[in-house]
Structure 1
């Protein structure tokens, strides 16, 4: 399906060059495998890679002053976002709205791997537990 959502002649490049950064080393152990701040790419979002092999394990409850989008790329997760509980699997996306405390855990079996997109050029977080 061809898309034409806007007229390319109406958008002018802002002069930024393409950029590249390493998000994670696949051989590195541990749950937090890496992050790339948007500032490093001169972009508006920060990208994190998270993964663990232990059901019930995940990041602690925390909050951000911006939205966070989670993409599940392996396994299943249970997200706690404010008063809501959302289960998500491979290929699904969950939004954590700004100012709303959230956390998630591996539902198992096996590895949970997420790509977490922080809608900010810097990772800013306050842990609540």
Structure 2
């Protein structure tokens, strides 16, 4: 069965493309995060997941820490983080950083390291 999920189900506000969705409830082995980080320096602290995470950079430039690597990625690029790899990212600016993050699991499992 196909599912159509309206933005008011996952968005933090009806007019924003920011929020998250655990898709396991809909039969998918994935979770989605729609990040919109308007401020330079914004982003999550160091963490890991027991599954891979895929970052699609839609706007701006971010600095990704993936294990012991520092990766600068900009709009149009994709960063793939392997399972159990510590990672974080921050908005380098100028302007907003917008990403769509795909977790390869039907629910979020996050180990915060910072």
TM-score w.r.t. structure 1 length?
Answer: 0.80
Secondary structure at the counterpart of residue 27 of structure 1? coil
How many pairs were matched up? 110
CA offsets, 1:25-59, max 9 Å, x none?
Answer: 4535xxx9211112132111111111111112210
For the residue of structure 1 that corresponds to 2:76, the secondary structure is: coil
RCO higher in structure (CA 8 A, sep ≥6): 2
Structure 1: where are the runs of 5+ without partners?
A: 1-16
**1:47 correspondence with 2:44:** no
More strand per residue: 2
TM-score by length of 2: 0.89
Runs ≥4 residues deviating over 6 A:
none
State the Cα distance separating 1:116 from its structure 2 match. Answer: 0.4
- Unaligned 5+ segments in structure 2 are none
